[in-house]
Amino acid sequence: EAGVVQSPRYKIIEKKQPVAFWCNPISGHNTLYWYRQNLGQGPELLIRYENEEAVDDSQLPKDRFSAERLKGVDSTLKIQPAELGDSAVYLCASSQRAGTDLLGNTIYFGEGSWLTVV
Amino acid sequence: AQTVTQSQPEMSVQEAETVTLSCTYDTSENNYYLFWYKQPPSRQMILVIRQEAYKQQNATENRFSVNFQKAAKSFSLKISDSQLGDTAMYFCAFRPGNAGNMLTFGGGTRLMVKP
C-alpha cells in the first residue's frame, strides 16, 4: 500500500516569493494534516481536514498561508509571500476518520517537504 | 490542553545493548492513544509503536516495547539489541480519543547508536 506522498522534497526560494507543496494521502484516509517542523523541535499542526472541510486551522498564519483539499483527496499548502522564518520541513499526514479505535487514530506521515527561504 | 515531555534531549547506546527513552504526559482525558515515532535524518516520521490507554498490556513490536504506566502518566520506549539504523530522533506523541482530537508531540530525544 502506498504511503503519504509529498512533493517537492526540497525547495529553495528567495524571500517574498511564493511556494506550494502538494500531498496525496493514503487511499481511504478521510483526515489530512499539514504540520510544520522547525529544526530541533517536534511537529506542530497547521491545519486539519476532514474530507474537504478544514476543521482545525487555528495555527495557520492566514495572512500568508493558504491550503485547500478539493474533492477531499489531494491537498496543497501555499505560502505567499515566503519569509525567512518559514524555513522548515512541512509534513503532510493522514489518518482514517477519527473514531474510537487505535487504527482510526493512527496518523501516518509523508517524507516531508524541506523549505529553505534565503 | 495536553502536554508531552521528553526529558532526555540526547542519549547514546552501544550497538546490541538496550536503551530506554522516557516520556511523560499530562492530561485529564481517560481515553487516549500514545505513539512513538522515529525520525531519521531524512525527516520522515515513521511510526514505531502505539498504545491504547485502556489496554493494560504493554505494546511490543519486535525489538521495540513500551512501559505504559497510566497512573503515573508515563510512556517509555525500550529498544532492545540496538542497531546502527536506530540512530534517529524519537518523538513521543499523545492523542485524545474524543472527536476533534489533535496529536501533540514531545520535544524529541536524539538517539545515537555507537558501533
pLDDT at B26: 94
Give the model confidence (pLDDT) of B60-99 as tens digits.
999 999 999 999 999 999 999 999 999 999 999 998 887 5
**Beta pairing class for A10-13 and A5-7:** unpaired
Task: Name the DSSP class of B55.
Answer: -
Asked if B45 lies within 8 A of A102 by C-beta distance, the reply is no
A1 pLDDT tier (thresholds 50, 70, 90): low
**How far apart (Å, rounded) are the C-alpha atoms in residues B103 and A86?**
22
**Contact indicator for B112, B11 with CB cutoff of 8 Å:** yes
pLDDT at B31: 85
Beta-carbon contacts of residue B5 (< 8 Å; ≥ 6 apart): B23, B24, B25, B26, B106, B107
Phi, psi (deg, nearest 5) at residue A85: -70, -5
- Residue of chain B with shortest Cα separation from A50: B100
**Contact indicator for B67, B50 with CB cutoff of 8 Å:** no
* A111 → closest Cβ in B35, B44, B47: B44
Give the model confidence (pLDDT) of B25-71 as tens digits.
998 888 889 999 999 988 889 999 999 998 889 999 999 999 999 99
